[in-house]
Chains A and B, each alone.
Chain A
Amino acid sequence: MQGSIQLEISRRVLLISSAATIAVNGVVTRDAAAQAAGSQMNNTEVSFVVNAESRKLNVDNRTTLLDALREHLHLTGTKKGCDHGQCGACTVMVDGRRINSCLTLVVMHEGDEITTIEGLGQPGNLHPMQAAFIKHDGFQCGYCTPGQICSSVAMLEEIKANIPSHVTENLTAETKTTPTEIRERMSGNICRCGAYSNIVDAIAEVAGTKA
């Protein structure tokens, strides 16, 4: 259950990151910090790999990974739907695991490998999940779609790693990729157009199971 342990670690990291977010916001709402901001003390240089390309940014510490991707790197395939980790539109993969990029600061990702929708497949050479979303009409407006696709690719890896979910009936057996497992594990990605059943069909096809 290597994956399970990794997940625990990532949860802890997430908690720390949330605390950091609060701390930073708490600090910057003070006038003193505002003056500090003026002298660029609130900026940090961060180096990471995005879609197999090394990137270096000098950013305001308050910048989320999501805003860094969208506003600094112009990778606007990653979407903002709530900025609060409630809708999943900003899902990207950090070191292979899915994460809400709006809930994490970019300065926390020094050295990390980040995969966004742009890095998953290229025109004419789509990732199987991207192709399956087209085939099964897994979207309407297309806004939540990059998040759904990134989330589903990483989610299938979680099932492969035998990480259980709320609906897993037998914790000691191998986790199966059932429609219920898919729906439960994808419930953090909201689609207001209501493409849910088509998305489940697309994921099931990629997973090699029947929805």
Chain B
Amino acid sequence: MSVLKDTAQKALQTAISFVPDRWLPGAEPDPMRTKHGLIGAPVSRVDGPLKVEGKARFAAEVPYENMAYAALACSTISRGRIAALETAKAEAAPGVLLVMTYRNAPRMAPPPVMNSAPKAAGASDLPVMQDADIHWNGEPVALVLAETQEQADYAKSLIRVTYDLEPAITSFDVAKTRAHPPENILGEPSSIEFGDAEAALNGAAHRVDLMYRTPRYNHNAIELHAATVAWEGDKLTIHDATQMVNSTAWTVAQVFGLKEEQVRVLSPYVGGGFGGKCLWNHQILAAAASKLAGRPVRIALSREEVFRIVGGRTTTEQRVAIGAKPDGTLAALIHTGVAAMTTHNSCPEQFTFPARHLYAADTLKVAQDVADMDMVANTFMRAPGESIGTFALECAVDELAETMQLDPIELRRRIEPEKDPTTGHAFSSRNLIEAYRRGAEKFGWDKRDPTPRARRKGEWLIGMGCATATYPYYRMPGGAARIRLTREGRAIVSTAVHEMGMGTSTVQQQHVAARLGMSFDAVTFEYGDSTLPAGSMAGGSSQTASISATIIAATEALTKELLKLAGNDSPLAGLKPDQVEARNGGLCKRDEPDRFESYASILGRSQRQEVTCEASGPLPLEAQKYSMHSYGAQFCEMRVNMVTGETRVSRFLGSFDTGRILNSMTATSQFKGGIIMGLGLALTEETNFDARFGRIMNPSLAEYHVPVHMDVPRIDVIWNDIPDPHSPLGAHGIGEIGITGVGAAVANAVYNATGKRVRELPITLDKLL
């Protein structure tokens, strides 16, 4: 970040801090935050029937006449140049239409990398198949297009590539000796220090100073990355599995030198995303091949290719040092470390973010570096940074509590800050201690014996652990929503957002029904198509707040328009928008509900079939003025076998503080899903990276162990349900908070069971024997 931009941002923040609450978007509390209707109710998913019938059509399932199938050949080296590329045999193989390499691929601009422009979606800004240079082991070097997938796959095996090797950095141990601070971390400074934290640590009555290590992880959504693409003249349609339809359309347009409107991206269903379903090389390559062949193309990556072409969560080494005073408050909090990264992406894995906002300390030092490696660009994976950052921080807090002979929850009570420790902003809504209180009560924390190895059943040691969950509140600028209200009493709401199983469409249908005073079934929610009004991406747990803000804005515009149409003959005559509210399919005066006219009546009298309003959400200034985060308390009960070292999670409870919950059923499922991915992070998952050759060694679901049915115990989920007065609907996004804190809760429970502190994930049995 330039000094200029830095200064401008500081000036803006200072200005915002003087803005009175009522002028801030979202600061005048949304009246819907306490009204119910169907908001909060356990409404079944609107796309449920299609999904259980197998009728929800995913990206690789869109049929086209005359479609061709693509297969990719990938680099087997990490850095160098293609010396020879033999494709003749593949080209001659049955059914093959063409073999595309850097020699014959259309000229394409590199995709603008994420965060370099508002709609930039590139996972990296490397050129895609434009030259002989190789940047990572797994980079596609050729694409075979054939009449059938079988023919394409076979022909690919006939391609021979030789390389001129160049020295590659494929060892994290080597790379980290040259680690350096990144320019910024998601717009935040890479390091912050106040006071002399090291000196305060040395002088503290109690202290811990520990190193933690976390491995690479992959998202492994069960739907393989896939796209079906077709050109019609100079217009490109991409049926994609993506978390960002608008950004994909814009970025692909830059690659092919098109206008954004010439690229249409559709993605009505996404078979799991978790941060991984964004723009990677395969969509671009499929579009390029389709252009060359003049035929629609389907590309579906194999599971191995998903590991090698789509990046995941990167590896880190983290130091957490905490010094406490005799009264249990903190003299020093230090969280530093290094994450592996490439020079061509923008995802530095913000593992120091939790320590910036979570606890009060007299002095603080956070600093994170990146170590440049030759590998596939890493990317955002469910709570990037926070998931593994809370592992280190919350394990260290547990170790400190033990040193002080203090209950770990009591320690957290004593270090609860009054305002944000780094920004000094007031918290918009923070009820972490309440989440701990409710969680501890329901979980039976009082039955925990603080002495390790105290509980035993047969050859199983049993222990309990807890940890704090935290994830920021984000709302994205730039989205819009359109509401079409018809005389028949239907509302159709459109915005180019995403449904990956979070319940987006269901929840927003609940929201619109409540906000317009209509029945749930009278509302249709359209999404997943870049030709709709631009929507928010599904990332950073921001989508629900972002959509809600645009719907609020569109509803306000609609109310204004309806009052205008109602005119002087209406019971609503003379009323201003802020004097009315929606109810029973119409508008009424807020404090005089009998002054009512239905939408049908208003449209009828004004001889309109329908009325349409579109509006953008206001800038997310609330997050500049307040410290806005979600919180939670994770509780785990572990059983560890004394003979084999096997671990079993026997119980888990998550107690969350995430503002208002909008659908208790889908929210419970999403929290549980986050916790389960956290159990994988803690116990079983690890992408093995060959430090010699830079190749991922376990690119399959047989060797990369995501939790299965048998690994997952009963999980209880509770929440405070305290609305945030400064967010739309009083809600926070909840997609990512569930995974945070889980690694530490598990590790702390393992310690309580066995007396062993494992500071390197995953906690496999070899580390316990």
Q: Which residues does A use to contact B, with CB under 8 Å?
A: 28-29, 31, 34, 37-38, 60, 62-63, 67, 70-71, 74-84, 86-87, 89, 116-118, 121-123, 126, 130-131, 133-135, 137, 139-146, 149, 182-184, 186-200
Residue B224 at the chain A interface, CB threshold 8 Å: yes
Report the minimum CB–CB distance from B733 to chain A (whole Å): 15
Interface contact A196-B676, CB-CB below 8 Å: yes
- Rounded to whole angstroms, the CA-CA distance of A159 and B502 in the bound complex is 33
Interface contact A116-B54, CB-CB below 8 Å: yes
In order of increasing CB-CB distance, the 9 nearest A-B pairs are A77-B54, A140-B501, A143-B271, A142-B51, A194-B676, A141-B501, A194-B673, A117-B54, A76-B61
- Rounded to whole angstroms, the CA-CA distance of A183 and B700 in the bound complex is 22
User: Assuming A60-B148, A117-B54, is B224 touching A81 (CB within 8 A)?
Assistant: yes
Interface contact B714-A60, CB-CB below 8 Å: no
- Rounded to whole angstroms, the CA-CA distance of A82 and B55 in the bound complex is 20
**Chain A residue at minimum C-beta to C-beta distance from B157:** A29
CB neighbours (8 Å) of B273 from chain A are 141
Residue B15 at the chain A interface, CB threshold 8 Å: no
Interface contact A38-B94, CB-CB below 8 Å: yes
CB neighbours (8 Å) of A134 from chain B are 44-45, 48-49, 52
CB neighbours (8 Å) of B715 from chain A are 197
Q: Which of A81, A134, A193 has the most CB of B within 10 A?
A: A193
Residue B89 at the chain A interface, CB threshold 8 Å: yes
Interface contact A193-B223, CB-CB below 8 Å: no
User: Assuming A141-B270, A187-B708, is B89 touching A118 (CB within 8 A)?
Assistant: no
- Rounded to whole angstroms, the CA-CA distance of A140 and B274 in the bound complex is 12
Given contacts A139-B501, A140-B666, A141-B270, 14 further A-B contacts (CB under 8 A): A67-B150, A79-B223, A84-B702, A86-B701, A87-B701, A126-B53, A134-B48, A137-B668, A140-B503, A144-B222, A183-B712, A196-B709, A196-B712, A197-B712
Interface contact B709-A140, CB-CB below 8 Å: no
User: Assuming A118-B54, A139-B51, is B94 touching A193 (CB within 8 A)?
Assistant: no
Interface contact A130-B673, CB-CB below 8 Å: no
**Chain A residue at minimum C-beta to C-beta distance from B499:** A141
CB neighbours (8 Å) of A199 from chain B are 709
Residue B269 at the chain A interface, CB threshold 8 Å: yes
Interface contact A74-B52, CB-CB below 8 Å: no
Residue B47 at the chain A interface, CB threshold 8 Å: yes
Q: Mark B660-679, 1 if CB is under 8 A from A, else 0.
A: 00000110111011111100
- Rounded to whole angstroms, the CA-CA distance of A196 and B677 in the bound complex is 12
- Rounded to whole angstroms, the CA-CA distance of A54 and B331 in the bound complex is 76
Report the minimum CB–CB distance from A206 to chain B (whole Å): 13
Interface contact B709-A143, CB-CB below 8 Å: no
CB neighbours (8 Å) of B707 from chain A are 194, 196
- Rounded to whole angstroms, the CA-CA distance of A156 and B668 in the bound complex is 27
Interface contact A142-B89, CB-CB below 8 Å: no
- Rounded to whole angstroms, the CA-CA distance of A184 and B674 in the bound complex is 22
Interface contact B52-A133, CB-CB below 8 Å: yes
Q: Which of B93, B672, B674, B708 has the most CB of A within 10 A?
A: B708
Interface contact B49-A184, CB-CB below 8 Å: no
Interface contact A34-B94, CB-CB below 8 Å: yes
Interface contact A193-B61, CB-CB below 8 Å: no
Residue B220 at the chain A interface, CB threshold 8 Å: yes
CB neighbours (8 Å) of A34 from chain B are 93-94, 154, 158
Interface contact B714-A76, CB-CB below 8 Å: no
